[in-house]
Chain A
């Protein structure tokens, strides 16, 4: 692209560098600090299959490393989800949960916490992720189906937005009801899950979330030009040869898979999906080709730092990460929005 070229060249390597730093920091620091030597030695022993791992090395391989990597994937998913939905809805206040995905997932999780024991439904460590993922997909499907049945049989993007808000309210009141009838420990679980935590990270979670994140972002990259065209309007995008219906379906499908899977393992993490697209637009303009690629990196960095803070602030106890993302994110966001050269 003309003009903005020079700036773009710097943004990508800066983000890659920051990602490496954030990953190293989040591998080293936590309830137990792990030195770089221990990390190198742990990798060496696992690779050559030689020697007993020390306690710290076992903590690193079994807990810290999967958590650090899961953090990257979840952060990338949330940020790219935000980029996609803001572009699809042509609306800067949208976050990835808007089409019902995270409220549905929260409802699925709450159902499990409150009624799981009653109905003796149990799939081991998978029960909660499955319940949450199913809830997220179900509610998004509901939003999409209900928004289709307008008078003309076409679903407008505004209709989708409004239906999303309504269904979100419905599922959140469902979560409220379940918290209300729950016993105290169950209610605490619901609250904690709704604020997000990465403490349950496992290698299974890393593999599943990683697969969905990488595949979904790869698909999203193919539609960035289409989303750009959508910025000047639905009709105008059609005049530029874009099939809006297909675009809408694809972007929603990508978003729901990415967000439902990520949310299933870590709970509801607010604000990352809203703030990252705006941060990048301020730095680098609104071209979705850059927003998707750089958003994945920036989301991963931001969530790594937030998770690090969540582990460090009350060490050895942990804060829910959703609290940290809001405490860091809100002031930064407000300061940036007040800059004179960011227009809406």
Chain B
């Protein structure tokens, strides 16, 4: 389990997160939603140790306080997909995916690292691209290469610990088919009960379709947290987004129209 406890973060007097507490549970698809400027990215940065935890707040990876973990230690159990990755120099797809294994080896990659890369590439259907120059790929292909990279980073289970996958707006460059394909694949990964998945998404319908647990952020605070039926209500969405949704049910699935 990954827990944020009483996180407050402010910059130059402006409060970006105020007393945010959320538990992200293993085996569940945890999604963070909220309007622009709600503090989603800031929360992700705090969870990833890119911003410090201040005051009496804390971030806990399982039992461990994030402050007691080095970034190297963190990188062996937790991988992060960030938005808008641009490469500075030409690399092959395999070389990019192998970066996911960097926290695990010094010097040369081992057989185990190559296996993780290959299987992660197959999982996200980019193995056929493995010798291609990354810079010649389409936006969607690039995005899938990075899926493979972050998955290879935590491909093997860690003894007595959870693995954490943090996805910051992973669907930006994907068409509808690959958006659903990606969400289905992540759902399949959750069969591994040691996997904690946290995603930031903008599309409320994807949240309604796939989330097992939703945290709705608004103005730096947790407005609602829980299963999708309790969070994605007309009242909550109106308060956060100032738009009135029509919520439609069909075959137990929830659809939102604006």
Residues of B88-114 whose CB lies within 8 A of A = 88-92, 94-96, 98-100, 102-103, 106, 109, 114
Known contacts A3-B94, A241-B74, A235 near B50 by CB under 8 Å:
yes
Q: How far is the CA of A232 from the CA of B98 in the complex (A)?
A: 12
Query: Which 10 A-B residue pairs are closest in the complex by CB-CB distance?
Result: A241-B75, A90-B88, A286-B89, A241-B72, A239-B80, A343-B135, A241-B103, A2-B94, A231-B88, A240-B102
Chain B residue with the shortest CB-CB distance to A151: B12
20 extra A-B contacts, CB within 8 A, seeds A238-B48, A242-B72 = A1-B109, A2-B117, A92-B89, A228-B99, A231-B88, A232-B85, A232-B96, A233-B82, A233-B85, A236-B80, A239-B82, A240-B99, A240-B103, A240-B153, A241-B74, A241-B76, A242-B71, A341-B133, A343-B135, A344-B90
Known contacts A285-B95, A343-B135, A239 near B79 by CB under 8 Å:
yes
Chain A residue with the shortest CB-CB distance to B74: A241
Q: How far is the CA of A281 from the CA of B91 in the complex (A)?
A: 9
Residues of A219-245 whose CB lies within 8 A of B = 225, 228-233, 235-236, 238-243
Chain A residue with the shortest CB-CB distance to B89: A286
**In contact, A238 and B90 (Cβ under 8 angstroms):** no
B181: Cβ under 8 A from any A Cβ: no
Separation in Å of the A108 CB from the closest CB of chain B?
A: 32
Query: Among the listed A3, A90, A92, which residue makes an inter-chain contact with B92, where contact means beta carbons less than 8 Å apart?
Result: A3
**In contact, B48 and A236 (Cβ under 8 angstroms):** no
Interface centre among A87, A235, A239, A285 (most CB of B within 10 A): A239
Q: How far is the CA of A2 from the CA of B94 in the complex (A)?
A: 7
Separation in Å of the B153 CB from the closest CB of chain A?
A: 7
**In contact, A240 and B100 (Cβ under 8 angstroms):** yes
Q: Which residues of B contact A225 (CB under 8 A)?
A: 102, 106
Q: Which residues of A contact B74 (CB under 8 A)?
A: 241
| A positions within 8 Å CB-CB of B | 1-4, 86-87, 90-92, 225, 228-233, 235-236, 238-243, 281, 285-287, 341-344
Query: Among the listed B73, B99, B130, which residue makes an inter-chain contact with A2, where contact means beta carbons less than 8 Å apart?
Result: B130
**In contact, B114 and A2 (Cβ under 8 angstroms):** yes
Known contacts A238-B71, A239-B75, A240-B75, A232 near B99 by CB under 8 Å:
yes
B131: Cβ under 8 A from any A Cβ: yes
Q: Which residues of B contact A281 (CB under 8 A)?
A: 89-90
Q: How far is the CA of A233 from the CA of B136 in the complex (A)?
A: 18
Q: Which residues of B contact A1 (CB under 8 A)?
A: 94-95, 98, 109
Q: Which residues of A contact B118 (CB under 8 A)?
A: 2
Chain A residue with the shortest CB-CB distance to B45: A235
Q: How far is the CA of A279 from the CA of B75 in the complex (A)?
A: 33
Separation in Å of the B91 CB from the closest CB of chain A?
A: 5
Q: How many A-B residue pairs have CB under 8 A?
A: 97
Q: How far is the CA of A342 from the CA of B48 in the complex (A)?
A: 35
Known contacts A239-B79, A241-B71, A287 near B136 by CB under 8 Å:
no
Residues of B54-83 whose CB lies within 8 A of A = 70-76, 79-80, 82
Chain B residue with the shortest CB-CB distance to A4: B92
Chain B residue with the shortest CB-CB distance to A2: B94
Known contacts A1-B94, A4-B92, A232 near B87 by CB under 8 Å:
yes
| CB<8 Å pairs between A and B, sample of 14 | A3-B131, A229-B102, A230-B88, A231-B87, A232-B96, A236-B82, A238-B49, A239-B48, A240-B100, A281-B89, A285-B91, A286-B89, A286-B90, A341-B133
**In contact, A342 and B99 (Cβ under 8 angstroms):** no
Chain B residue with the shortest CB-CB distance to A288: B89
Interface centre among B88, B94, B99 (most CB of A within 10 A): B88
Known contacts A2-B114, A238-B50, A241-B76, A229 near B99 by CB under 8 Å:
yes
Q: Which residues of B contact A286 (CB under 8 A)?
A: 89-91, 95
**In contact, B87 and A228 (Cβ under 8 angstroms):** no
B253: Cβ under 8 A from any A Cβ: no
Q: How far is the CA of A192 from the CA of B173 in the complex (A)?
A: 54
B252: Cβ under 8 A from any A Cβ: no
Separation in Å of the A161 CB from the closest CB of chain B?
A: 12
Q: How far is the CA of A51 from the CA of B220 in the complex (A)?
A: 86
B160: Cβ under 8 A from any A Cβ: no
Q: How far is the CA of A2 from the CA of B92 in the complex (A)?
A: 10
Chain A residue with the shortest CB-CB distance to B93: A3
Query: Among the listed B91, B130, B133, B153, which residue makes an inter-chain contact with A231, where contact means beta carbons less than 8 Å apart?
Result: B91
Q: Which residues of A contact B72 (CB under 8 A)?
A: 241-242
Separation in Å of the B169 CB from the closest CB of chain A?
A: 14
Separation in Å of the B148 CB from the closest CB of chain A?
A: 13
Chain B residue with the shortest CB-CB distance to A243: B71
**In contact, A342 and B90 (Cβ under 8 angstroms):** yes
Interface centre among B71, B74, B86, B94 (most CB of A within 10 A): B71
Q: How far is the CA of A90 from the CA of B136 in the complex (A)?
A: 18
Q: How far is the CA of A343 from the CA of B117 in the complex (A)?
A: 24
**In contact, B89 and A231 (Cβ under 8 angstroms):** yes
Interface centre among B70, B75, B94, B153 (most CB of A within 10 A): B75
Separation in Å of the A280 CB from the closest CB of chain B?
A: 11
Query: Among the listed A238, A241, A344, which residue makes an inter-chain contact with B135, where contact means beta carbons less than 8 Å apart?
Result: A344
Known contacts A2-B114, A233-B85, A241 near B102 by CB under 8 Å:
yes
